[in-house]
Amino acid sequence: MSGGAPGAGMTSRPATRTLIPVHTRERAGGLPRPVIGWVVRVVVGWSAPGATVTAVTRQTTDQAPVEALVVARDLVKTYGAVEAVRGVDIDVWPGEAFGFLGPNGAGKTSTMRMIAAVSTPTSGTLRVLGLDPAADGPQLRARLGVCPQEDTLDTELTVRENLIVYGRFFGLSRAECARRADELLEFVQLGDRVHARVDQLSGGLKRRLTVARSLVNDPELLILDEPTTGLDPQARHLLWDRLFRLKQAGTTLLLTTHYMDEAEQLCDRLVVIDKGVIVAEGSPTELICEHSSREVCELRFGIADHAELATKVEHLGDRIEVLPDRLLVYAADGESVASAVHEMGLTPTSTLVRRSTLEDVFLRLTGRTLVE
């Protein structure tokens, strides 16, 4: 990575070298194949305000250096007196699915809008596909695919016409737009709805059409803001399947979501944002290992005082959480906790042992209190 030259008022920050495992892909017979590799990630920078970042690269054991598609350093976004994003640092690498998790108002969408070149950062440095979104907005937007949180389809056009018209905005010929529209509609399983009007579609079908539209320009980076919000489980799983296929084909995904299971299914790495600050970063497995136990034992005692009962079982786990209707005992072995509870003469009305999930991590880091 190269940065601005040090000068007055600048304090140098030493280079950091971290050996980390990565997934790379090579093609065999035309199909992507996952390959485990190792990289040395080198980050060099300066702590002065306004310092620039032009590139961050990583080196695999069997490939040429790969440049990060998104590089953000000390990214800030304010709206009047409200600081929505407060010093975010991220790198997004080619071919990975990178997720933003956070409660409402955490700064996820504000960060995504800056990356999508539709909102200018207040301060900090941001490079997307090697370009400055503030200075190279039109050029950058032509290389991005964006699936917004709200569907913005043209209800007066048919399913196929929506894709063709959208493709024309990118300077594609009518013939090429038609070819891509037919290909994408088959990909999202809307091939039998090509002549249907948008207002005749269900919410799930509209969402799939919006994803197809975001792929018309064959983007280098696909940005998805809450891609499955409001969909029923069947529609969500179908869309997950399509997004997973895109990732297998090498498309880089950048998404926000409120669904923890969605993040576990789709994301290679993610960050948890709260109040505009990144509070955790890593793969789903890494975050669970770092911020939770391997298992959780859920104990329900009917209308009993769960807070009082918590004092009797708190020694059984690494951590205990008291909820109005149950106790959560976090431990490496949930079955041992359940057995110990019964040996103590306690009789919960129900006992559930489950593995820890991203939801446990999310709630521990951001709290259970609803903040709007």
Q: Which two tokens stand for residue 324?
A: 């109005």
Question: What burial letters (b/e) apply to 31-57, b meaning 16+ CB within 10 Å?
Answer: eeeeeebebebebebbebeebebeebb
pLDDT one-digit tens code per residue, 17-28: 333 333 333 333
Helix/strand/coil for 288? helix
In the predicted model, what is the mean pLDDT of residues 324-352?
A: 93
Least confident of 10-19, 88-97, 213-222, 300-309: 10-19
CB 260 within 8 A of CB 358: yes
Number of Cβ atoms within 10 Å of the Cβ of 311? 10
The CATH number of 293-355 is 3.30.70
pLDDT one-digit tens code per residue, 189-231: 999 999 999 999 998 899 999 999 999 999 999 999 988 888 8
In angstroms, rounded to a whole number, what is the distance separating the alpha carbons of residues 124 and 77? 9
In angstroms, rounded to a whole number, what is the distance separating the alpha carbons of residues 209 and 137? 25
Determine the pLDDT at residue 222: 96
Would you list the domain boundaries of the chain?
A: 1-67, 75-282, 293-355
CA dihedral 241, 245, 251, 252 (to 10 degrees): 40
Determine the pLDDT at residue 235: 86
Determine the pLDDT at residue 57: 63
Q: Would you say the pTM of this structure is higher than 0.75?
A: yes
Q: What is the mean pLDDT of the chain?
A: 83
Determine the pLDDT at residue 198: 94
Say yes or no to pLDDT of 352 above 50: yes
Q: How do beta strands 12-28 and 31-46 pair?
A: antiparallel
With 0-12 / 13-18 / 19 or more C-beta atoms within 10 angstroms meaning exposed / middle / buried, residue 9 is exposed
Domain 75-282 identical in fold to domain 293-355: no
The CATH number of 75-282 is 3.40.50.300
Q: Which two tokens stand for residue 232?
A: 């029923």
Q: Which two tokens stand for residue 222?
A: 């696909």
